[in-house]
Structure 1
Amino acid sequence: MFVKGEKERCFAYSVSVACTKNAFVLDLEVAPGNVHDTQVFPDLFKRVKKRHPGIEAVVLDAGYISPAVCREIIKAGALPVMPYKRPMTKKGYFKKRDYVYDEYYDCYLCPNNQVLKYSTTNREGYREYKSDPKICRECPVRSKCTQSNNYTKVVTRHVWEHYLEIAEDIRHTYWGKELYKKRGETIERVFADAKEKHGMRYTHLRGLRKVKHYLTLLFACMNLKKLATWKKKQGTLPPAVPAFSSFLSKIHKIFTFNKTPLPSLAA
């Protein structure tokens, strides 16, 4: 079951695609609609990195923003280039960026300049920092911070959060901004052509294996079309029309020599 934002629910498959800066598709990974993109990325990235070890940067959309994905890319010797993602905070409350992390003392400072100390690390890999309920009880801005019954504010920080911070620093660089703009010319164009020209919006097939075979052929055909266009511009291919006319003339001579009428188009 695929659910995204306010869109209606439907049974669907999702596909993650990797392409070059010239929009040639390198690899793809198909998953059920209820599997998040960040879970699909590691296997796809490892295959692409194995065949193309010289990758310097990986440009992704907001769906792939996570500490695990950033760590995977940086550990492989590449740089993650990601966009800005709005915080998922309720309206009227402080955002997470309003809580300042102190790396030296390993704690957070709230907007009221109170300390949130480290408490524990949960099973999802997030370190929990909790406030003092005695201070929060009398805090004048508590209504914008937390509505907890025990008057305790909890801020979480992933154990790999510093990898995400590296990606955030890259996002603000001129190089990162210019590189991210190329998404509209590359992978976005690949998906647009696949959906509008090759019917990728819907499928009559069922099962990951069948859908992956279909999409592999689809993107292979798109690569071949692009390659043929490139070669034609470079003048490495003969003109298509004269070659086809020559082929038809040879066929016509064969049928004439054998005194066999040419088959009609209807046949």
Structure 2
Amino acid sequence: MPQDHLLVRIQQLIDFSFILDFVKDQYNLFYGRRAKDPDMLFRLLFIQKLYNLSDERVIEETKVNLAYKWFVGLNPEDQLPDPSLLSLFRVHKIGAGEVESLLLEIVKQCVEKGIVKSSTIIIDATHTHSKHEASKPLQVLKHAAYRLQRSVKKQNPKMLKKLPVMPEFAGDCREKEIQALHYLAELGAAVEELVPDAEGALKQRLEETRKIVEDERLLAWKGVQSAIDPDARFGWKSSTDSFFGYKESIAITEDGIITALKVEPGNASDPKAFPDLMKQTKETGLVVKEVLADKAYGSFTNLKLLDKDGIVPTIKLNEMMLYGHQDEQREKFVYHKDSETVECPAGHHSIRKARMGPKDGNECQRLTFFFEIEKCKKCPLQAGCYKPGSNSKTYSVPVVPEFKQRAVEYHGSEEFKARYRMRYKVEQKNNELKTHHGLGTSRYSRGLLGMRIQAVLTAIAVNAKRMVKLTCPQIAH
């Protein structure tokens, strides 16, 4: 094998033996036939993601490509497994564990070998379209019923005659949807009664049916939109551009190594993934000194988390974080620091103050000033300030903690502007994952679990490429 071949360099850089420990609990040493080597199967999945191949294609390519065969540990004359075994290994062996820990092992090796030089991580989110088109509720229900019937037919064709027949749905669209939902529930109950110990594909179809029937959001056109991919959701790339599928929140080093990954349905909130990404990154052994992210991640809680660990937040702050709530009327109130009172537009001073809001430290408390209500009732300037009939008049200002104040000051500096421009690197990484390695569309039909497996395997392949590039820049990918 040529020493400058990409797979040769990956073999030299990465120890794939961690997969043996990861899947060991999924094999029985004493019963059944001897299993195919997990290391070989994992390497086939790695090649699949590295070169963006299907299960069938990676097996066909490996039959004739000596580099592939060498990498998976086979001799030229050795036979390759059936493509279906890759799917079984992916779902029942890899999917049985915490799949994100596979990425963790790769990043740990990067850190231990000194490949990662940067102490900065960049965070962003991207999306993956479900390969199954979103459907209207009636289509979802009919499709789920057909899939369940097919599974029953494959297992026992005679049993199909014992199941309730799908009726002709009548009435308007809403009435048809309700009738279809009732039929699907009836069908699922009948199958469960006939096959109480269902396994394999039939068990999966029954679980899908139960999930759809019990999800009250379906008929409200919210939530489940695909009988085949029930975990997929609608998300928004902008105020006018939506997608149906999943969202991947990604953390990378400034060197381009993916350190953490969180996969969620498409409607997930970006900032909530931030603590998990930081936690995963810390577990790799990487010392983080700076985080770059857009304003979706600039929440009070996230800034506080970074401040606790002494990490510089190069995060774009939104208007509310920068200025708080502002309006013309509020700007007319004046705070006097010596007397610690607030003067209203009519010249009246507050009579007392109190600190309000939660004390858990997860959001700003507010300093609230109270005015003498009898004066407000007679005030000629009460329009837009005091609501007639109210029992109190208050004015509140946020109690800004030091870490937020520091973040706001840094946000306006030239250093912040220069560092923030480095965010383009995570956007390039997202494009690489989707355009060259298939993360733009979901590949598997296992809902969120399948998407997590796909995303982690893709991230491992992309990290391997980057490791080679960082240690041996002259080798082409």
Within the candidate set 167, 178, 203, 2:407 is matched to 167
What's 2:453 paired with? Answer: 213
Change (3 A) 1:112 1:189: farther
Checking the alignment, whether the CA contact within 8 Å between 1:82 and 1:168 is kept in structure 2 is no
Q: Which residue of structure 2 aligns with residue 117 of structure 1?
A: 353
How much does 1:64 deviate? 0.9
Equivalent residues of 1:3, 1:10 under 8 A apart: yes
Conserved? CA contact 2:298–2:317, under 8 Å: no
Give CA-to-partner distance per residue, 1:36-89, whole Å, 9 cap, x none: 223221122022123234221111211111121111112122111111423399
Between structure 1 and structure 2, the one with the greater Rg is: 2
**Residue in 1 aligned with 2:439?**
200
Q: Measure the CA separation in 1 of the matches of 2:457 and 2:421.
A: 28
Match in the other structure for 1:262: none
Tell whether 2:410 aligns with 1:177. no
Q: Which runs of 5+ in 2 are unaligned?
A: 1-232
TM-score, length of structure 1 as denominator length:
0.66
| 2:327 aligned residue | 93
Root-mean-square deviation (CA, aligned residues, Å) is 4.2
Please state whether the residue corresponding to 1:164 is helix, strand or coil. helix
TM-score by length of 2: 0.40
The 2-side partners of 1:110 and 1:3 are apart by 44
Residue of structure 1 in register with 2:311 after alignment:
78
Per-residue deviation, residues 179-206 of structure 1 (Å, max 9, x unmatched) = 111011x112111222333343432544
Whether the 8 Å CA contact 1:126–1:156 is kept in 2: the answer is no
Does the CA contact (< 8 Å) of 1:99 and 1:108 recur in 2? yes
Which residue does 1:51 correspond to in 2?
284
In the alignment, structure 1 residue 225 sits paired with structure 2 residue 459: no
Which structure's relative contact order is higher, taking Cα pairs within 8 Å and 6+ residues apart? 2
Deviations 1:91-146 (A, max 9, x none): 99349999888899887777888659335324875534255374666485964x78
State the secondary structure of the residue aligned to 1:87.
helix
Q: For the residues of structure 1 that align with 2:329 and 2:318, how far apart are their CA atoms?
A: 13
Inter-CA distance 10–226: structure 2 relative to 1 (3 Å threshold): closer
Please say if residues 73 and 79 of structure 1, whose CA atoms lie closer than 8 Å, have aligned partners that are also in contact: yes
CA contact (8 A) 1:82 1:180 kept: yes
Q: How many residues align?
A: 233
How far apart are the structure 2 equivalents of 1:139 and 1:190? 61
Percent sequence identity over aligned pairs: 20
2:272 counterpart of 1:39? yes
Q: 1:231: how far off? A: 4.7
SS of the counterpart of 1:163? helix
Q: 1:27 aligns with which of 240, 260, 267?
A: 260
Residue ranges of structure 1 left out of the alignment (5+ in a row): 241-267
Determine the C-alpha separation between the residues in 2 that align with 1:148 and 1:46.
51
Note if contact 1:31-1:40 (Cα within 8 Å) is conserved in structure 2: no
> Partners in 1 of 2:388 and 2:247 — Cα distance?
38
